Structure 1
Amino acid sequence: MGRAFEFRKARKMKRWSAMAKTFTRIGKDIVMAVKEGGPNAETNSRLRAVIQNAKAANMPKDTIDRAIKKASDKDTANYKETIFEGYAPHGIALIVETATDNNNRTVANVRASFNKCDGNLGTSGSVVFMFDHTCNFTIKKEDVSIELEELELELIDFEVEEVFNDEEGLIIYAPFEQFGALQNYFEANNIEILSSGFERIPTTTTKLNEEQKADVEKLLERLDEDDDVQNVYHSMEEE
């Protein structure tokens, strides 16, 4: 298996462990999707993707519908997506993705987290080149009648990097820019998309001892507790 498989396996048990926070993050995604393309999922591909992810996270339908209705209200504030880059202790590169309705608050909180955990908040472009920006899809196995190797060949025009089997479904990784084209392909071929998303996979990782890992985890946990933080990616080697 390749880097995407190992990356996903390492992060799987850590991602959005608290259900309430998961719903909060998806709720923000719904607001941003509706503000960008309207409340009709049939004509708003970004909203379709968010709804699929909400269902995969077991968000109740009425909660999804309420979120879409609230997002449609012109008085509902939109969220701005901002990326922060920097270093955790021991030279571990970090990318922090946020969605906020108060940028000053978010900047202050992220900077405080780095400072209090011996990290170093960097400038734009300081570490992003150390990560591959990818998109991923989980599709329904029953909708695919060919073998994995054949599916990879079928998707070669979309620059697909990895295809592998998971208990959730078939997982496809490709460059970030191919998201829309792949989404259209699966929908046009009646292949059900169970979930989709974007991830930043480190091109190289750094192995730390247990004490050093604890130093990095302290910062990761603090950032994850921030309601404005959507995702945190790092270059620390994980088992």
Structure 2
Amino acid sequence: MSGHSKWSTIKRKKGAIDAKRGQIFTRLIKEITVAARSGGGDPEGNARLRAAINTAKAENMPKENIARAIKKGTGEIAGEVYEEILYEGYGPGGVAVLVDCMTDNRNRTVADIRHYFAKSGGNLGEFGCVSWMFEKKGLIQVDKSLIAEEKLMEMALEAGAEDVVEEETEYQVLTAPEDFDAVRTALEEAGLTFLEASITRIPKNMVEVTDEKNARSLMKLLENLEDHDDVQNVNANFDIDDDLMEQIS
């Protein structure tokens, strides 16, 4: 969990989420559009769309933006056609990196992603080269100041969660992908707000990065990937000591 948890914490500390709200809206609009295209425009019968709408609402996206994205997905109004692509590779220090993209130009996107990997000293690999090291899970992050661990554990497990993991400043609620929506809804109805809630890829094992140069290059790679307009999510299996993380941050 360390890689995902620490990377999320770094982004929050830097204020990246607030500073790049426009970029977040763009990503959410893409997700809503693709979800509506693949499963229909009714969120009651489309779990992926329902989750995307919930995330958009949590980010205070205007209702009209959500409605327009759904209509683009269902074809009621004209819009771009996005292709979903998963890129896989190795970053500095042998860290496995997964990059979820939605793009209307595959050639442009793969050229940019390959460039970022090469620039960092890593390399873009073939399909399947690192994805086996990750497991798809629902992940809900809750600030530790909001609730006691035992109470959260009780609520989450009752709603269908698999586990609750304690991190330095937050709790990680883990679910099977198919149970994510139900657990999220139950916790929201209990009055909890989330630092993050999404279906993501959790590494099965971690790669410890101890070299400062590799750590800096890895963080730069992740930042470059996150900043790309076609990138939806980035996951990596790194573990960096807290002191080194503080030093390079």
Q: Please give the TM-score of this superposition, normalised by the length of structure 2.
A: 0.74
Is contact 1:152-1:163 (8 Å) kept? no
Give the partner amino acid of 2:64.
D
Give the partner amino acid of 2:177.
F
Partner of 2:211: 209
Aligned-pair CA distance for 1:160: 0.5
Partner of 2:75: 73
Partner of 2:200: 199
Partner of 1:151: 155
SS at match of 2:44: coil
Aligned-pair CA distance for 1:216: 1.5
SS at match of 1:77: coil
Cα distance between partner residues in 2 of 1:188 and 1:225: 32
Aligned-pair CA distance for 1:188: 8.7
Residues 26-35 or 217-226, more deviating = 217-226
Is residue 11 of structure 1 aligned with residue 12 of structure 2?
A: no
Partner of 2:174: 173
Is residue 125 of structure 1 aligned with residue 128 of structure 2?
A: yes
Alignment of 1:44-63 (within 5 A): 44-63=46-65
Cα distance between partner residues in 1 of 2:105 and 2:10: 30
Give the partner amino acid of 2:136.
H
Cα distance 1:25–1:148, how it changes in 2: closer, same or farther (>3 A)?
same
Partner of 1:24: 26
Gaps of 5+ in 2: 243-249
Is contact 2:161-2:179 (8 Å) kept? no
* Match of residue 93, structure 1, among 91, 96, 100: 96
* Post-superposition CA distance 1:61-105 (Å, at most 9, x none): 222223223333364233222111111122222111111122222
Aligned-pair CA distance for 1:138: 6.3
Partner of 2:246: none
SS at match of 1:90: helix
Cα distance 1:121–1:7, how it changes in 2: closer, same or farther (>3 A)?
closer
Give the partner amino acid of 1:8.
S
Partner of 2:228: 226
State the number of aligned residues.
Answer: 225
Aligned-pair CA distance for 1:220: 1.8
Aligned-pair CA distance for 1:21: 0.8
SS at match of 1:12: helix
Is contact 2:93-2:209 (8 Å) kept? no
Is contact 2:92-2:218 (8 Å) kept? yes
Is contact 2:87-2:124 (8 Å) kept? yes
Cα distance 1:29–1:153, how it changes in 2: closer, same or farther (>3 A)?
closer
* Match of residue 117, structure 2, among 104, 114, 117: 114
Cα distance 1:108–1:153, how it changes in 2: closer, same or farther (>3 A)?
closer
Gaps of 5+ in 1: none
Give the partner amino acid of 2:126.
T
